[in-house]
Amino acid sequence: MIPHHLVWHYFTVVPPLQLEQNVEIGIDNIALMTWPTFTYAEARSQDPRAVNVICCSICLVNYEEEQVEDKALRLLPECGHLFHATCVDMWLRWRQTCPLCRSLVVNRVLQTPSDEV
């Protein structure tokens, strides 16, 4: 016969994990679609910090001079880091920070003309 306390522990249901109160939520698709994309040449002229960057640090594929629809680039406003839009958008849907330096990008991205005073 199996002792009662062993049977009880065997069938005890573990409560589900509680999510922390400060779970980070990313940027929604609507906001991301309003954020401009650039060609490689445009991004380099837009921000001098993008001049020496030759590849996306997420996928490690070199940027191309001519813009291809799935290779459009996003320039993060606060830090000036440059990524393929498809690469960084996946990150930004889960996080509100730059994948490289972790600076917050949400305030600038979500700001609309009506928000400015």
Q: Which structural domains are found in the chain, ordered by start?
A: 29-110 (3.30.40.10)
Distance of CA 89 to the CA centre of its chain: 5
Q: Is the pLDDT of residue 76 over 50?
A: yes
Phi and psi for 82 in degrees, rounded to 5? -115, 135
**Tens digits of residue pLDDT in 12-64:** 555 555 555 555 688 888 888 888 888 888 888 888 887 788 899 999 998 87
Q: How far apart are CA 90 and CA 38, in angstroms?
A: 17
3-state secondary structure of 73: strand
